[in-house]
């Protein structure tokens, strides 16, 4: 067991855990940030996607010892009031069914939009290839990302 | 039991427990919504009123105007937590934005709370209308008394009662005290709204938990947190039903974070508490890590000799023989096949598959003072309570069961095996504990969709009409002992009804069935039976249409014929309205421009229909198959008839599109291999699921409203997808898919 201080959603948080503890379980069990979900534990489903310095990563494959000084952003910290264009559009288009994968979908999509503010269907399919939605909301996910791109574009103006 | 306590925002925590009158605990999951609704509409007042208007168990109107509606069915992604309360709100004439929805705990006051078989809507729809109308009637009477005018002069709308003659209005908030003092009328006496006056039903309403979903708030079973919570894993025998001989518990107990490690004796029911080893630690990761060092000696039992390869060989052998049971025998199928102008023979097979809900099975339980409190992502809370009583001897009235949102259900969470595991562990240690299955546990200890084998023969007369149908279905069963006698009991979802289409339609029809004994757990998987039978039968019908040189749509319409309403036959007879099916079939053909479009080689359309869960659904798929054999589904057109009313248009459309994509995923990828009585695959790397790139480009959904009872939509839109796609593949390439999943068939062409 060791002490780790990591920067989560802009706040330094200290936990005492084993060095190989995945960031996923630090968030969920030790910091009560349960928006990041456990789905497979081997980086195959994307439900645990968070940002490390803005890049989407799988929290289940990211040991706490490797986080270092990186800025971790989770779904809880994506926007201070939960009003990221994707979060608004996801409600407007009623994207979720069960909702379990959607935090991961939104985090991956947010990273995509930052890099590529006007993604094509092809760009979306490539970026979100690793995020499974068992309920099959993929059509609304695609539509939601396009719509968020539109909304974000207008907001920027 | 379900009070979303309104608390001071400064006291808000991420997830709370609060002591209630019954000594129980309630999750503070709904507080945000209640607070926000209260802030929005509460009237400033120095007088604190406490009386609520509570005409029944499902509706509460507080003096500040907040309307709380109870959702009694579990929410698993089917949208019931939004749609059934909409029915109440419609009749109650309340603004949807003023409504707070609270998930009810398991409580007999709500009636049945199981969510399965797409039954939640058909069994509750009428009653929920009456619940809302009862409350509205009482609020109108309260206003009539207040104003001393006839109730007939009053109308309710927008959370208020209006008197047009005098231009007066009373908000529901102002009527709470008076309404609460009135006698509750009998529900069957109240006036329901005319459907033409609906304002909410049939519109697009977003899921009530969406704000929490998109901001990552606690919602699901796996999100439950409690003071002093410990974390458990449970290792069962990899070969189904094996028993623990010994385990290195001393070593495990010495590992970091481990608090307890013990053997659970368990029983032999594959749907109950199976033998295993529990490890309880101070974090999920500590439990997962300790488990890697667990060594168990198992007595694997009879399952260890079973394999998919063995079952396949045995099925082939049985196909040469008569079936052990005759399900239907109309006319003389064998003679008709002998005399037929043309015959077609084909063997179809499909594997066992997993539900693979993305939230793995989990359950939190706390045993104290002889009672137990359970938090479970379940579709079937009654079954959870029952198994805890039967297995652990805890009386029903000592069990509190909180229903959490489920990260997918698909039938998996109808079976309470994970609930009894958590409860058994909790009883042993006496502190709150959350059992979390790993993905590997979830995939390898599912209640699987059964595999199966169909050996089919069909006969056509000289006009290309279907005159004979013979199916020998080889399926799976468990050995059961009743009154000292052994027999085989078909697995859940592994049976075939003699009424299944085209039984009852073909004049010479022989349906036979032979079970293979196995020790593999089987359970309902979204649209049980139908999810594979539609594929087998509509693929084979397509083969027959092709042999007859007939158009697949015209061939199907001819089979359906002019029978009108066909009553069910036999013990599990299924009544079938032919006109409804022809209606959706013709509609989907028209919308998809069936027979009017021409496609180059490598592209094509396929059609199929299926009746299940009271829904009549037809689909046309349009596909492109590359020369290398890569499939892309370009478009799926769906026509559905689920009765007179779509409750929530957004949710309904989402269910249909999701069913299409779910059906496509199962068709393309899903397959479990069985060797030595255990599942070979372990996680999504070797059990791939459909991703966004393989989703169809378009799914067009058409809802046909007919004058029929309103029925459910969680399942019936799935079955026709696989045959529609496979028939389109045949149209595009001439390749017939007779084995699932699709990746077993080479689709390349030149």
On the question of pLDDT at B643 being above 80, the answer is: yes
Domain boundary among B196, B215, B234: B215
Q: Which residues contact A37 (CB under 8 A, 6 or more apart)?
A: A47, A48, A100, A101, A103, A104, B220, B222, B358, B359, B407
Q: What is the pLDDT of residues B459-481, one digit of tens each?
A: 999 999 999 999 999 999 999 99
pLDDT at position B571: 74
Is residue B507 in a domain?
yes
A138 and B215 within 8 Å at the Cβ level: the answer is no
Is residue B17 in a domain?
no
Global pTM value: 0.94
Is there a single domain that holds both residue B72 and residue B110?
yes
Of A41, A98, A137, the CB nearest to B76: A98
Best mutation target among A136, A147, A148 (most B Cβ atoms within 10 Å) is A136
Domain boundary among B215, B250, B268: B215
Q: How far apart are CA B156 and CA B197, in angstroms?
A: 12
Is there a single domain that holds both residue B271 and residue B372?
yes
Is there a single domain that holds both residue A70 and residue A95?
no
Chain A residues lying within 8 Å of B410, measured CB to CB: 134
CA distance from start to end of chain B = 66
Q: How far apart are CA A120 and CA B693, in angstroms?
A: 12
pLDDT at position B6: 30
pLDDT at position B25: 31
Q: Using pLDDT thresholds of 50, 70 and 90, give the confidence band for residue B9.
A: very low
Q: How far apart are CA B654 and CA B701, in angstroms?
A: 10
The residue behind tokens 């699709």 is B742
B358 and A100 within 8 Å at the Cβ level: the answer is yes
Is there a single domain that holds both residue A70 and residue A100?
no
Per-position b or e across B364-386, b if 16+ CB within 10 A of its CB: bbbbeeeebbbbbbbbbbebbbb
Q: Give the mean pLDDT of B206-223.
A: 98
B214 and A103 within 8 Å at the Cβ level: the answer is yes
- How much of chain B, in percent, has pLDDT values that exceed 90? 92
CA nearest to B292, candidates B302, B279, B305: B279
Chain A residues lying within 8 Å of B432, measured CB to CB: none
Angle at B448 between CA B446 and CA B452, to 5 degrees: 160
Is residue B30 in a domain?
no
Q: Which residues contact B576 (CB under 8 A, 6 or more apart)?
A: B499, B501, B504, B565, B566, B568, B611
Is residue B6 in a domain?
no
Is residue B665 in a domain?
yes
Is there a single domain that holds both residue B326 and residue B400?
no
Q: How far apart are CA B621 and CA B696, in angstroms?
A: 9
pLDDT at position B51: 85
Total domains present in chain A: 2
B691 and A128 within 8 Å at the Cβ level: the answer is yes
Predicted ipTM > 0.85: yes
Count the Cβ atoms, other than its own, within 10 Å of residue B672.
Answer: 21
Q: What is the pLDDT of residues B362-387, one digit of tens each?
A: 999 999 999 999 999 999 999 999 99
Q: Give the mean pLDDT of B239-252.
A: 98
Is there a single domain that holds both residue A30 and residue A60?
yes
Q: Omega of the bond prior to B741 within 30 degrees of 0, cis? A: yes
Q: Using pLDDT thresholds of 50, 70 and 90, give the confidence band for residue B572.
A: confident
pLDDT at position A157: 53
Q: What is the pLDDT of residues A11-44, one digit of tens each?
A: 999 999 999 999 999 999 999 999 999 999 999 9
A25 and B657 within 8 Å at the Cβ level: the answer is no
Is there a single domain that holds both residue B74 and residue B130?
yes
Determine the distance in angstroms separating the CA of B225 from the nearest CA of chain A, rounded to an integer.
8
Is there a single domain that holds both residue A35 and residue A55?
yes
On the question of pLDDT at B531 being above 70, the answer is: yes
B79 and A97 within 8 Å at the Cβ level: the answer is yes
Is there a single domain that holds both residue B90 and residue B158?
yes
Q: Give the mean pLDDT of B662-691.
A: 98
Q: Give the mean pLDDT of B152-159.
A: 98
Best mutation target among B76, B211, B214, B355 (most A Cβ atoms within 10 Å) is B214
Q: How far apart are CA B409 and CA B74, in angstroms?
A: 10
On the question of pLDDT at B409 being above 70, the answer is: yes
Q: Which residues pair with B277 in a beta bridge?
A: B235, B263
Domain boundary among A77, A100, A127: A77
A98 and B406 within 8 Å at the Cβ level: the answer is yes
Chain B residues lying within 8 Å of A33, measured CB to CB: 216
Nearest CA in chain B to A91: B210
CATH value at residue A118: 1.10.150.120
Is there a single domain that holds both residue A91 and residue A46?
no
On the question of pLDDT at B27 being above 50, the answer is: no
pLDDT at position B607: 98
Q: Using pLDDT thresholds of 50, 70 and 90, give the confidence band for residue A155.
A: confident
Q: Contact, B61 vs B176, CB < 8 A?
A: yes
CA nearest to B82, candidates B206, B199, B217: B206
Q: Give the mean pLDDT of B114-140.
A: 96
Chain B residues lying within 8 Å of A94, measured CB to CB: 204-207, 210, 650-651, 654
Radius of gyration of chain B (CA): 28
Q: How far apart are CA B643 and CA B651, in angstroms?
A: 16
CATH value at residue A44: 3.10.20.30
pLDDT at position B534: 98
Is there a single domain that holds both residue B504 and residue B625?
yes
Radius of gyration of chain A (CA): 15
Total domains present in chain B: 3
Structure token pair of residue B533: 């039978």
Q: What is the pLDDT of residues B504-521, one digit of tens each?
A: 999 999 999 999 999 999
Question: Across all residues in chain B, what is the average pLDDT?
Answer: 93
pLDDT at position B33: 43
Chain A residues lying within 8 Å of B206, measured CB to CB: 91-92, 94
Is there a single domain that holds both residue A64 and residue A115?
no
Which domain covers residue B122, as residue numbers? Answer: 46-215
Is there a single domain that holds both residue B324 and residue B411?
no
Is there a single domain that holds both residue A11 and residue A68?
yes
Alpha helices in B520-594 (DSSP H): 530-548, 552-560, 578-591
Chain B residues lying within 8 Å of A9, measured CB to CB: none
Is there a single domain that holds both residue A120 and residue A71?
no
Q: Using pLDDT thresholds of 50, 70 and 90, give the confidence band for residue A152.
A: confident
Which domain covers residue A115, as residue numbers? Answer: 85-156
Q: How far apart are CA B257 and CA A15, in angstroms?
A: 15
Chain B residues lying within 8 Å of A131, measured CB to CB: 691-692
Is there a single domain that holds both residue B148 and residue B172?
yes
On the question of pLDDT at B3 being above 70, the answer is: no
A135 and B408 within 8 Å at the Cβ level: the answer is yes
Best mutation target among B289, B692, B698, B722 (most A Cβ atoms within 10 Å) is B692
Q: What is the pLDDT of residues B686-732, one digit of tens each?
A: 999 999 999 999 999 999 999 999 999 999 999 999 999 999 999 99
Domain boundary among A32, A53, A77: A77
pLDDT at position B573: 82
Is there a single domain that holds both residue A7 and residue A44?
yes
Determine the distance in angstroms separating the CA of A77 from the nearest CA of chain B, rounded to an integer.
8
pLDDT at position A58: 98
Could you tell me the CA-to-CA distances from B78 to A13, A96, B217, B405, B707 in Å, in that order?
A: 37, 10, 20, 11, 24
pLDDT at position B30: 36
CATH value at residue B122: 3.30.365.10
pLDDT at position B22: 27
B216 and A36 within 8 Å at the Cβ level: the answer is yes
On the question of pLDDT at B20 being above 60, the answer is: no
Q: Give the mean pLDDT of A125-152.
A: 97
- Number of CB pairs, chain A paired with chain B, less than 8 A apart: 200
Determine the distance in angstroms separating the CA of A58 from the nearest CA of chain B, rounded to an integer.
15
Is there a single domain that holds both residue A72 and residue A139?
no
Q: What share of residues in chain B are helix, strand, coil (percent, to 5)? A: 30, 25, 40
On the question of pLDDT at B44 being above 80, the answer is: no
pLDDT at position B48: 46
Domain boundary among B167, B192, B215: B215
* CA B567 remoteness from chain centre: 26
Helix (H), strand (E) at residue B429: helix B417-429
Domain boundary among A28, A50, A77: A77
* CA B444 remoteness from chain centre: 20
Determine the distance in angstroms separating the CA of B212 from the nearest CA of chain A, rounded to an integer.
9
Is residue B14 in a domain?
no
Chain A residues lying within 8 Å of B27, measured CB to CB: none
Is there a single domain that holds both residue B269 and residue B148?
no
Q: Give the mean pLDDT of B350-367.
A: 98
pLDDT at position B17: 32
Q: Give the mean pLDDT of A70-74.
A: 98
Nearest CA in chain B to A128: B692
pLDDT at position B50: 59
Q: How far apart are CA A58 and CA B704, in angstroms?
A: 43
pLDDT at position B215: 98
Q: Which residues pair with B163 in a beta bridge?
A: B154, B168
Is there a single domain that holds both residue A40 and residue A102?
no
């Amino acid at each position: 067991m060791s002490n780790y201080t990591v920067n989560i959603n802009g706040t330094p948080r200290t936990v005492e855990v084993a060095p190989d503890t995945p960031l996923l379980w630090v968030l969920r069990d030790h910091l009560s940030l349960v928006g990041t979900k456990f789905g497979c534990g081997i980086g195959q489903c994307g439900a645990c996607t968070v940002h490390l310095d803005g890049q989407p990563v799988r929290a289940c494959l990211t040991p706490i010892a490797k986080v270092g000084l990186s800025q971790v952003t989770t779904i809880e910290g994506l926007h201070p009031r939960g009003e990221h264009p994707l979060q608004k559009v996801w409600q407007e288009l009623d994207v979720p069914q069960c909702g379990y994968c959607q935090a991961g979908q939104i985090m991956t999509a947010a990273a995509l939009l930052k890099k590529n503010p006007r993604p094509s269907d092809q760009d979306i399919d490539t970026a979100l290839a690793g995020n499974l939605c068992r309920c099959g909301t993929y059509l609304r996910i695609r539509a939601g990302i396009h719509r968020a791109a539109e909304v974000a574009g207008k907001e920027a103006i | 039991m379900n009070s979303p306590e309104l608390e001071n925002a400064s006291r808000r925590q991420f997830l709370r427990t609060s002591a209630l009158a019954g000594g129980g605990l309630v999750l503070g999951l709904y507080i945000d919504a209640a607070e926000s609704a209260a802030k929005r509409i509460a009237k400033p007042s120095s007088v604190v009123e406490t009386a609520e208007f509570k005409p029944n168990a499902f509706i509460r109107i507080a003096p500040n105007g907040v309307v709380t509606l109870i959702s009694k069915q579990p929410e698993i992604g089917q949208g019931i937590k939004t749609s059934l309360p909409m029915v109440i709100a419609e009749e109650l004439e309340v603004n949807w934005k003023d409504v707070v929805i609270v998930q009810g705990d398991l409580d007999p006051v709500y009636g049945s709370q199981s969510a399965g078989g797409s039954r939640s809507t058909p069994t509750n729809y009428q009653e929920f209308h009456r619940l809302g109308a009862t409350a509205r009637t009482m609020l109108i009477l309260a206003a009539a008394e207040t104003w001393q005018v006839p109730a007939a002069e009053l109308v309710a709308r927008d959370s208020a009662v209006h008197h047009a003659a005098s231009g007066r209005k009373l908000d529901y908030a102002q009527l709470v005290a008076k309404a609460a003092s009135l006698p509750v009328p009998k529900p069957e006496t109240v006036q329901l709204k005319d459907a033409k006056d609906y304002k909410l039903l049939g519109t697009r309403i977003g899921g009530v938990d969406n704000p929490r979903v998109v901001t990552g708030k606690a919602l699901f079973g796996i999100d439950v947190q409690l003071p002093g919570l410990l974390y458990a894993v449970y290792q069962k025998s990899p070969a189904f039903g094996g028993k623990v001989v010994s385990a290195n518990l001393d070593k495990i107990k010495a590992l970091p974070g481990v608090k307890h490690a013990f053997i659970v004796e368990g029983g032999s029911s594959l749907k109950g508490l199976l033998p295993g080893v529990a490890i309880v630690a101070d974090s999920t990761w500590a439990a997962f890590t300790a488990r890697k060092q667990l060594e168990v000696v198992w007595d694997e039992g009879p399952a260890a000799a079973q394999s998919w390869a063995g079952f396949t060989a045995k099925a082939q052998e049985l196909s040469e023989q008569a079936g052990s049971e005759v399900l239907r025998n109309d006319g003389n199928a064998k003679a008709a096949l002998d005399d037929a102008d043309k015959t077609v023979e084909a063997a179809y097979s499909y594997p066992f598959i997993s539900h693979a809900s993305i939230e793995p099975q989990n359950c939190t339980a706390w045993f104290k003072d002889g009672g137990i409190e359970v938090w479970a992502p379940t579709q079937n809370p009654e079954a959870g309570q029952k198994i805890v009583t039967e297995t652990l001897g805890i009386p029903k009235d000592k069990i509190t069961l909180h229903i959490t949102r489920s990260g997918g259900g698909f039938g998996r969470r109808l079976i309470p095996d994970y609930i009894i595991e958590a409860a058994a562990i909790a009883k042993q240690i006496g502190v709150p504990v959350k059992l979390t299955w790993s993905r590997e546990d979830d995939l390898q200890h599912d209640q699987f969709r059964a595999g199966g084998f169909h050996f089919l023969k069909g006969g056509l007369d000289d006009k290309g009409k279907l005159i004979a149908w013979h199916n020998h279905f080889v399926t799976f069963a468990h050995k059961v002992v009743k009154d000292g006698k052994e027999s085989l009991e078909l697995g859940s979802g592994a049976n075939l009804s003699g009424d299944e289409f085209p039984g009852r339609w073909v004049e010479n029809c022989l349906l036979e069935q032979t079970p293979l004994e196995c020790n593999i757990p089987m359970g309902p998987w979204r649209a049980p039976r139908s999810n594979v039978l539609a594929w087998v039968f509509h693929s084979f019908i397509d083969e027959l249409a092709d042999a007859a040189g007939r158009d697949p749509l015209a061939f199907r319409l001819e089979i359906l014929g002019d029978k009108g309403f066909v009553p069910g036959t036999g013990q599990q007879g299924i009544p079938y309205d032919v006109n409804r099916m022809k209606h959706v079939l013709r509609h989907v053909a028209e919308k998809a421009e069936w027979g009017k479009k021409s496609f180059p080689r490598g592209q094509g359309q396929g059609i199929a229909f299926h009746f299940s869960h009271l829904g009549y659904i037809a689909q046309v798929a349009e596909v492109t198959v590359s020369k290398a054999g890569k499939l892309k589904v370009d478009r799926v057109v769906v026509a559905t008839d689920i009765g007179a009313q779509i409750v929530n248009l957004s949710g309904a459309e989402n269910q249909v599109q999701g069913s299409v994509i779910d059906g496509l995923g199962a068709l393309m990828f899903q397959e479990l291999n069985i060797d030595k009585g255990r599942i070979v695959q372990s996680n999504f790397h070797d059990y791939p699921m459909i991703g966004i790139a393989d989703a169809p480009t378009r799914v067009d959904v058409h809802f046909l409203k007919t004058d029929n009872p309103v029925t459910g939509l969680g399942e019936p839109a799935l079955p026709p997808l696989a045959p529609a796609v496979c028939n389109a593949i045949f149209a595009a390439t001439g390749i017939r898919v007779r084995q699932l999943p699709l990746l077993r068939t080479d689709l390349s062409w030149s």
